[in-house]
Amino acid sequence: MDVRWNSTYLMLETLLPHRSTFSTSIEADYPRPTGSPFWFTDDHSEMAEKMLKFLELFYESTVDLSGVYYPTSPLIIHHIVKIAIHLHQYQHDEHLRVVVQSMIDKYNKYWKNIRDLYSIAFILDTRAKIKGFTKVLRKLNSLSNVDYTNKLLDTRALLFKIYNKYDTMHGSVRLRRAVPASHSGKKRTTWTDIYDDDELDIGASSASLPPNLDLSRNVSATSLLQAACATSSSELATYLDSLLCYRQLVLLALVSLPPT
């Protein structure tokens, strides 16, 4: 299909494992004069491989975001970041730079301003929250030189506005929530582009520790966590900043260990 680039990707994916057979077929169907170059050369094969590699991410993004049995809105920002990095890597490629530049222009037209729906959906993913969204904006800023400071502030303000409206309507009903299962053993390959520099910043965490905490070995981890998060102003604030609270809990556990 002339207007569907993903059909080009699928054709190349099917072709390349059988390139020698394809070349033989062309030579049989279209005889060439003696001494003239082959119709399908190694240069053609190398260019096909480059195009296949270049189109692969766009094909994967299309498949991931076309799913119907799982929510796709939290995934969109993942692919926005991946595509921005991908285009940046090919920006100066000798064969693709003309095409890539027009793709960057089109990308900036539609995705430079991230829509609120996708921002909020991403933040509500328990693996992301405000910290993950901050890293996304930092990553995009390094690739496009766009200042996203207001985007972070505006998104957080909008999220609290929506939450407060919901809380006003349904705040009187409080359901007892089960403790979420641990997902520490799951792979985080999807998050590599966002958390590639993720480290435990003990200095930053310790600066916001609540005073007068009991660090004795008899205090439970739950108590330490509740104390670390005690200053949160609302349920939403607790959720958004809970990653910092868990970091504080790790720090508290470390400092309460007996000296070796």
Report which of residues 180 and 23 the model is more confident about: 23
The pTM score is 0.68
- Asked which of 179, 196, 213 is the last residue of a domain, the reply is 196
Counting the structural domains of the chain, the total is 3
Per-residue confidence (pLDDT) for residue 26, from 0 to 100: 79
Judge whether 113 lies within some domain: yes
**Residue 165 sits in the same domain as residue 249:** no
Does one domain contain both 165 and 55?
no
Rounded mean pLDDT of the chain?
A: 76
Q: Same structural domain for residues 79 and 148?
A: yes
Distance of alpha carbon 131 from alpha carbon 240, whole angstroms: 8
Residues 132, 198: Cα–Cα separation, whole Å = 10
pLDDT the model gives residue 209? 42
**Over residues 208-228, mean pLDDT:** 48
Residue 228: domain span: 199-260
pLDDT recorded at residue 233: 57
Position 138 pLDDT exceeds 70: yes
Percentage of residues in the chain with pLDDT exceeding 90? 35
Q: Are residues 165 and 204 in the same domain?
A: no
Do 78 and 192 lie in one domain? The reply is yes
Q: Is the dihedral of CA 156, 157, 161, 162 positive or negative?
A: negative
Examine the pLDDT at 182 and tell me if it is beyond 70: no
Candidate from 24-28, 95-99, 154-158, 222-226 with smallest mean pLDDT:
222-226
Residue 100: CB partners within 8 Å, gap ≥ 6?
87, 90, 91, 93
Regarding whether 206 and 158 lie in a shared domain, the answer is no
> What is the per-residue pLDDT for 56?
94
Lowest mean pLDDT segment, chosen from 47-51, 152-156, 201-205: 201-205
pLDDT at 231 over 80: no
Q: Last residue of a domain, which of 15, 32, 64? A: 64
Tell me what percent of the chain is helix, strand and coil, each rounded to the nearest 5.
65, 0, 35
Q: Does residue 182 lie in a domain region?
A: no
DSSP string, 145-194: ----HHHHHHHHHHHHHHHHHHHHHHTT--PPPPPPPP-TTS--GGGTTT
**Same domain, residue pair 53 and 83:** no
Render pLDDT for 54-63 as a digit per residue (tens, 0 to 9): 999 999 999 9
Q: Are residues 1 and 14 in the same domain?
A: yes
In this prediction, residue 58 carries a pLDDT of 94
**Dihedral angle over CA of 45, 48, 53, 57, nearest 10:** -160
- Tens of pLDDT, residue by residue over 236-257, are 887 787 655 545 445 555 555 5
- Asked if 36 and 90 sit in the same domain, the reply is no
Kindly state whether residue 179 falls inside one of the protein's structural domains. no
Domain boundary among 161, 196, 231: 196
Same structural domain for residues 50 and 107?
no
Residue 180 lies in a domain: no
Q: Which of 144-148, 221-225, 227-231, 255-259 has the highest mean pLDDT?
A: 144-148
Whether 38 and 114 share a structural domain = no
Does residue 181 form part of some domain? no
In the predicted model, is pLDDT for residue 193 greater than 90? no
Amino acid at 188: R
Instruction: Indicate if 15 and 94 belong to the same structural domain.
Output: no
Average pLDDT, integer, range 157-171: 87
pLDDT of the residue at 20? 82
